[in-house]
Amino acid sequence: MPAPSRRTGATTARVVSATFARRRLSSAAQGWRVGTQTSWSRQPLVLLVLDGAVRDGREWLKVLLPVRPNGSAGWIPRDRAVLARTPWWVDVRTRTRRVTVYRQGRRVRSFRAVVGARRTPTPHVLAAIYERNRQPDPRAFIGPWALALTSLSNVLEDYGGGPGRIAIHGRGPESLSDHLGTARSHGCVRINDAHVAWLARRLPRGTPVDVRR
């Protein structure tokens, strides 16, 4: 199974039966329980597939998990998931404060962003879209959409009633004083409302989001 890449896209796995993700394929002693829905808004759980293997005649998938520490991955049985492909890939660069979107390796959009402040940095890690949440009040701080990621803040254990999950979201009127191209957020990536709506219409859950300096 091909690894996720900007050029070719990625495989995603929608978990259709609760299972256990092994930390190591060779042992079921350690790992994580994995349900079929996301923890916040109970959407279907779709995970980014990193690798595949066969052990003792059974197929397994290595998936990126939405847990701490960031980058945690586990092995789940192939028969507990439905696979799909996404041609999309998102790069977030905290130094240039820019979000760039690729489809099948071709750059299609690039947006200026607000990224995490020095004391609450945006984690540098390969993540994936975990939830796609339309906001009840598009003029509130988060804007019209929040695309929650599998990554979580390395500083904040709890924020806004959740576990400190990082998201790409819009910019309501209250947040406009933090100008695009600055590092002023609690770790989330803020882009213009029209841009996050564009992303929300196109990017499925499980789409890779590569966050680097």
In 3D space, the residue among 30, 75, 74 whose CA is nearest the CA of residue 54 turns out to be 75
User: What confidence score (pLDDT) does residue 162 get?
Assistant: 78
**How far is the C-alpha of 49 from the C-alpha of 5, rounded, in Å?**
11
Q: Of 164, 165, 135, 136, nearest to 148 (Cα)?
A: 165
- The amino acid present at 46, given as its one-letter code, is V
Given a contact cutoff of 8 angstroms between Cβ atoms, the answer to whether 77 and 168 are in contact is no
Identify the structural domains of the chain with CATH numbers, from first to last: 10-86 (2.30.30), 88-212 (2.40.440.10)
The number of helices, as runs of H, and strands, as runs of E, in the chain is 1, 17
CB atoms within 10 A of CB 121: 19
- To 10 degrees, the CA torsion angle through 30, 33, 38, 40? -80
Which neighbouring-strand residues pair with 62? 51, 75
Low-confidence ranges of the chain (pLDDT < 50): none
For residue 1, the model assigns a pLDDT of 76
> Phi, psi (5° rounding) for residue 161?
85, 0
CB–CB of 209/127 below 8 Å? yes
Quick one: DSSP state of residue 212?
Answer: E
Given a contact cutoff of 8 angstroms between Cβ atoms, the answer to whether 114 and 97 are in contact is: yes
